[in-house]
A and B are shown apart, each in its own frame.
Chain A
Amino acid sequence: MSRALLRSALELRTPITRLPPPFLLPIPIRPRANALTAAPAAARFFNQTTQIVDPPIPSSILADAGRTPTQSPTAPAPTAAPVAGISKISAALSTQIPQPPPPARTSTEPLSESVRTLLPLLAAQPGHYATAHIHGRPYLVTAGDLVRLPFKMPGVAPGDMLRLTRATAIGSRDFTLTGAPWVDERVFECRAVVLGTESEPMRVLIKKKRRQRRAKRVESKHRFTVLRISELRICDELVAA
């Protein structure tokens, strides 16, 4: 390990060559000999819903991350805030690295005094949670959690990145910021990746009345969208600025 660090020290002396990170670019679709494996086509052919994509990030925000925006500037502008409390920020199955777009709907009201003083303290503590609401139901999540929604979310495919914008509380070990009813969207960034759709074992209900030789078998099998909370960040740089 010390040798690895020594090598890094040696590498520091070499002239800095900055290349755009190609790993972050979307998957190229290339013609292949095997026609069944790949052929040029639109990436989202099978999802009819349009993607709500946040506008590209100004370069000043990107400077520290060193990333390039995935979406082209011609992507559709963000629509009005959905009731669900989610906005979709990246196309499915096309890229894996989340991009940090700015909050979609920036309100201009200044943060209150107590938030401005205590938010850096909240952000400084290790470990954060948020009570994110999706379709009115609360989920207390931390980064890396698996959320199994009680419904199948329409119009999403595995790999889609969602941004959860509705939260009633964010907090750390000693601090909690509760919203009235929602926490300001500028204060936190919570992103989730759609992992796929899961199901449950078939539920079978036998409907039988007494003295009637008839039994009705009712079957149901629900589908659930599974999300992974990929990022939960408290934006305290907003207060610092």
Chain B
Amino acid sequence: MRTSRPDQPFRAVRHQSTSALALDSALEATAADEPYDDGTDHVRFPPLERLPNATKLPSPLPERALTSAKLAALHARLSLPQKLPLQTLARALVDISADENPLFNNVNLAFVGQTITHYHVAEWLMCRYPRLPMTIMYAAMKAYAGDETLHSVARSWGVESAAEPGGEVDSGLLQFSMYKPVSHIGFGYGRKDNSRVEQGRWRRGIANRVLFDDDFGEQIGYDTRKKAQIPTSSQRTFSYGTEETRAAAERAHAAAVRAVVGSVYAHCGREAGKAFIRAHILSRTIDVSTLFEFKSPVVELARLCQREDFEPPVARLLSETGRLSRTPVFVVGIFSGKDKLGEAVAGNLDHARYKAAMNSLKSWYLYSPGENVRVPSEMLVEGSKAWEPTYIDIGEIIHG
């Protein structure tokens, strides 16, 4: 049974949240005037220190970083150098959605970190797999340095997030708001109207992507998962545990990781920043051959052979278990003249031919000069060996 009491207003007191305190300052004043006595022996357990007026601030003051145990532990866990002060690390954990003041949030550090990270990932991928098509290159870039990856990097560092940002929150917690939309941070121009691209009125080819879009070849201000323009107004209501909150958490964690990279670069220099990226981002693993999705591999392979002046590819049956056997298996190889380009095993002939063509194309695209290729940034170190030109491919196969 529900009874409504319109004459008595509902009173809610949330001592742990800034928003509640900020919403009703009169309520706070009354709560402060009448301390709640729960019978605690205040001689043995002295009352907690009253929070300073900083509770009104959107993010904790920088000097509170020096007393945060969580922050010091994070600093040591990442074995960051002493040159990197705790205040900077604390700032790297304040997202733009928590504090809009660029003097106190991590936007600038994240921008630096993003640039450095993308540069190192890009040069490493380009030197290691010089023949990757641009779409795969973008996907590999995103696999190494995308939001989702950096979110898991932040989680593997043990970065915890505050339920709600505010000035009273511990400096060692990542602070972001899941309900505030944020604009894109980073390079890229963006288009006036992203829906035009979706409708197919504006063509968005690879060259177009290189020119306009961000470092992962994605439209700026456009949510690829939802296929919709990201709303700019804060009037939208979000519930907890949805795709939006997940995306916001990913973005904030990724920004924090980038900001840590940026602060290592800013305080300790280029080599330290590179070593940090190598240790935490480039040391992660992915099988690049799983990123490919071919539409018409046989045609593409024929184009490749035509371009490279190989003999046209021919599929040949290498062996089979017998067509009338219970589970027939065919081994098909693709040959160009006398050279075998690739082979595959499948349950029927067409499938085996497609798979063999895909394997041939992958073995072409995934050419690598070695696992420990030299990258251009190694030349920035004094006394490094003379640079040998890396392999540069003429480009991917284009067919209609």
- Tell me if chains A and B make direct contact, with any CB pair below 8 A: yes
The verdict on A12 contacting B379 (CB below 8 Å), with A1-B137, A27-B79 known, is yes
Contacts of B381 in A (CB 8 A): 16, 18, 66
Tell me which of B229-237, B249-257, B271-279, B288-296 binds A. B271-279
Query: Nearest Cβ in chain B — how far from A15, in angstroms?
Result: 10
- Cβ contact within 8 Å between B81 and A23: yes
> How far is B354's CA from A195's CA once the two chains are assembled, in angstroms?
43
Tell me which of A30-38, A48-56, A180-188 binds B. A30-38
Interface of A is mostly: loop
- Cβ contact within 8 Å between A1 and B73: no
- Cβ contact within 8 Å between A38 and B72: yes
Contacts of B383 in A (CB 8 A): 63
> How far is B83's CA from A4's CA once the two chains are assembled, in angstroms?
27
- Count residues of chain B with CB under 8 A from any CB of chain A: 46
> How far is B66's CA from A66's CA once the two chains are assembled, in angstroms?
32
The verdict on A7 contacting B67 (CB below 8 Å), with A22-B268, A23-B275, A25-B81 known, is no
- Cβ contact within 8 Å between B69 and A23: no
The verdict on A95 contacting B382 (CB below 8 Å), with A4-B122, A7-B119, A126-B371 known, is no
A28 contacts partner chain B, Cβ-Cβ < 8 Å? yes
- Cβ contact within 8 Å between A12 and B67: no
> How far is B380's CA from A37's CA once the two chains are assembled, in angstroms?
38
Q: What is the chain A residue whose CB lies nearest that of B66?
A: A33
- Cβ contact within 8 Å between B279 and A12: no
Contacts of B273 in A (CB 8 A): 23
Contacts of A144 in B (CB 8 A): 285
> How far is B69's CA from A137's CA once the two chains are assembled, in angstroms?
43
> How far is B274's CA from A8's CA once the two chains are assembled, in angstroms?
13
B187 contacts partner chain A, Cβ-Cβ < 8 Å? yes
Contacts of A126 in B (CB 8 A): 368, 370-371
Contacts of A124 in B (CB 8 A): 370
A96 contacts partner chain B, Cβ-Cβ < 8 Å? yes
Q: Could you say which of B272, B279, B382 contacts A18, with CB atoms under 8 Å apart?
A: B382
Contact with B along A63-91 (1 / 0, CB 8 A): 11010000000000000000000000000
> How far is B381's CA from A63's CA once the two chains are assembled, in angstroms?
9
> How far is B275's CA from A24's CA once the two chains are assembled, in angstroms?
8
A5 contacts partner chain B, Cβ-Cβ < 8 Å? yes
Contacts of A38 in B (CB 8 A): 72, 76
B27 contacts partner chain A, Cβ-Cβ < 8 Å? no
Q: How large is the interface on A (under 10, 10 to 19, 20 to 34, 35 or more residues)?
A: 35 or more
The verdict on A5 contacting B119 (CB below 8 Å), with A23-B276, A24-B272 known, is yes
B164 contacts partner chain A, Cβ-Cβ < 8 Å? no
The verdict on A16 contacting B66 (CB below 8 Å), with A1-B141, A22-B272, A23-B81 known, is no
Contacts of B385 in A (CB 8 A): 64
Query: Nearest Cβ in chain B — how far from A192, in angstroms?
Result: 15
Contacts of A19 in B (CB 8 A): 268-271
Q: What is the chain B residue whose CB lies nearest that of A26?
A: B79
- Cβ contact within 8 Å between B368 and A5: no
Q: What is the chain B residue whose CB lies nearest that of A24?
A: B275
Query: Nearest Cβ in chain B — how far from A76, in angstroms?
Result: 23
- Cβ contact within 8 Å between A22 and B81: yes
A221 contacts partner chain B, Cβ-Cβ < 8 Å? no
Contacts of A16 in B (CB 8 A): 380-382
> How far is B210's CA from A166's CA once the two chains are assembled, in angstroms?
50
The CB with the most chain A CB atoms within 10 A, among B138, B187, B210, B380, is that of B380
B328 contacts partner chain A, Cβ-Cβ < 8 Å? no
B357 contacts partner chain A, Cβ-Cβ < 8 Å? no
Query: Nearest Cβ in chain A — how far from B157, in angstroms?
Result: 12
Contacts of A30 in B (CB 8 A): 82
A2 contacts partner chain B, Cβ-Cβ < 8 Å? yes
> How far is B215's CA from A127's CA once the two chains are assembled, in angstroms?
30
The CB with the most chain B CB atoms within 10 A, among A5, A17, A23, A96, is that of A23
Q: What is the chain B residue whose CB lies nearest that of A123?
A: B370
Query: Nearest Cβ in chain B — how far from A194, in angstroms?
Result: 16
Chain B stretch 357-387: residues in CB contact (< 8 A) with chain A: 368, 370-371, 376-377, 379-385
Contact with B along A103-145 (1 / 0, CB 8 A): 0000000000000000000001010000000000000000010
Contacts of A17 in B (CB 8 A): 269
The verdict on A5 contacting B123 (CB below 8 Å), with A18-B381, A34-B67 known, is yes
B143 contacts partner chain A, Cβ-Cβ < 8 Å? no
Contacts of B377 in A (CB 8 A): 8
Query: Nearest Cβ in chain A — how far from B96, in angstroms?
Result: 22
B118 contacts partner chain A, Cβ-Cβ < 8 Å? yes
**Contact sample, A vs B, 6 pairs, CB 8 Å cutoff:** A19-B271, A23-B272, A24-B275, A32-B66, A32-B72, A37-B69
Interface residues of chain A, those whose CB is within 8 Å of chain B, are 1-5, 7-8, 11-12, 16-19, 21-25, 27-28, 30, 32-34, 36-38, 63-64, 66, 95-97, 124, 126, 144
A sample of 13 more A-B contacts (CB under 8 A), given A5-B122, A97-B279, is: A1-B138, A3-B215, A4-B118, A5-B119, A7-B119, A8-B119, A19-B271, A23-B80, A27-B79, A28-B81, A33-B67, A38-B72, A66-B271
Interface residues of chain B, those whose CB is within 8 Å of chain A, are 66-67, 69, 72-73, 76, 79-83, 115, 118-119, 122-123, 126, 137-138, 141, 187, 210, 215, 264, 268-273, 275-276, 279, 285, 368, 370-371, 376-377, 379-385
Those 4 A-B pairs whose CB atoms lie nearest each other, nearest first: A23-B272, A22-B81, A28-B82, A18-B382
